[in-house]
Amino acid sequence: MEKSAKIFIAGHLGLVGSAIKRRLEAEGYTNLILRTLDELDLTNQQAVRDFFAAEQPQYVFLAAAKVGGIRANNVYSAQFIYENLMIESNIIHSSWEQKVKKLLFLGSSCIYPKLAPQPLKEDCLLTGLLEPTNEAYAIAKIAGIKLCQMYRKQYGCNFISVMPTNLYGPGDTYHPEDSHVIPALIRRFHEAKMQGLAEVVCWGTGSPRREFLYVDDLAHACYTLMHTYNEAEHVNIGTGADQTIKEIAEMIAETTGFKGSISWDSSKPDGTPQKLLDMSKLHSLGWRHKTELKEGLKIAYEDFLKRYP
Ligand code: GDP
């Protein structure tokens, strides 16, 4: 991928896309093609086709998606399945039509069966039933992997897929109800501290285990794989270690300086009991994460304070 290559980052304003943009800019890439939602509706087939025909990108990072936490996935399930299927179908098909040299599709660790053996290996995909709270998103993301594989098989396209674990970091969405656990709790603990509240309520039982990756580490992994990986099978991207949600809540309380107590609302869903990725494949390709959770949470909190003064 030469420095002057024409690279389309779909979703460059999101958590993942903005991290990929930072990485490419830091590496000296100067020919990035970027479109906001107002400029290009990626669910619109004709608009995407026209855009690809006019711009002819050589490389594509497919980071655009309708995303959200456990509640948003449940409440907006029709939007999650429809918009994600449309975005990825339109971009992958247009990438084939316009002879894109290489495309990297981003999925999610929720593609794996709810009760698959942990840590989750790439080959446990489609071996069991999905976690119901994020089924809509997972089905769309599984379809994205299969699109990349089928376009490779039938047309010889070099389209690859990566499956990141739960992500966090600068550029996240800090919505009180619709975001993922880390940004939601950064906001809730910060607001409780500012308002002098004695207690913060978190969702579920606190017992599920989750693995978290700092988003700039993900962007580095994507950048590396765009240069080195050319196979049909998707690649897990994580740290290989997980924590309970209770431990995460305690770490966020400490990061934000909240000194009160934490309670649990078990009427809210826990989601899948554990989602720990098996990292053997990416580790064997020589990549490891750099940012540990404590340090990453500190940077995420600084980002929150800057963006939501
Ligand atoms: P998931 O990994 O797909 O389940 O996505 P989330 O990041 O939304 O949730 C992870 C876990 O954190 C679940 O067990 C939630 O019940 C728990 N959790 C605790 N408090 C919150 C909260 O305020 N928001 C969210 N999104 N999850 C929370």
Give the Cα separation of 189 and 46 in Å (integer): 44
- From ligand 1's centre to the CA of 271, what distance in Å? 7
Q: Quote the tokens at residue 99.
A: 């002879």
Residue 108 to residues 6, 31, 68, 246, 309, Cα–Cα distance (Å): 26, 28, 12, 22, 31
* 247: three-class secondary structure by DSSP: helix
Best residue for ligand 1 mutational test, from 185, 203, 266 (most atoms within 8 Å of Cβ)? 203
Q: Judging by beta carbons within 10 Å of its beta carbon (0-12, 13-18, 19+), is residue 2 exposed, middle or buried?
A: exposed
Decide if 271 contacts 204 (C-beta within 8 A): yes
- From ligand 1's centre to the CA of 190, what distance in Å? 17
**141-167: burial string, b at 16+ Cβ within 10 Å, e else:** bbbbbebbbebbeeeebbbbbbbbbbb
Place of tokens 């990292």: 279
CA of 204, closest atom in ligand 1: 16
Does ligand 1 have an atom closer than 6 angstroms to the CB of 104?
no
Tens digits of pLDDT across the chain (309 residues): 999 999 999 999 999 999 999 999 999 999 999 999 999 999 999 999 999 999 999 999 999 999 998 899 989 999 999 999 999 999 999 999 999 999 999 999 999 999 999 999 999 999 999 999 899 999 999 999 999 999 999 999 999 999 999 999 999 999 989 999 999 999 999 999 999 999 999 999 999 999 999 999 999 999 999 999 999 999 999 999 999 999 999 999 999 999 999 999 999 999 999 999 999 999 999 999 999 999 999 999 999 999 988
Decide if 304 contacts 241 (C-beta within 8 A): no
Q: What is the DSSP letter of 277?
A: B
Give the Cα separation of 103 and 120 in Å (integer): 24
Active site residue 137: yes
- From ligand 1's centre to the CA of 247, what distance in Å? 13
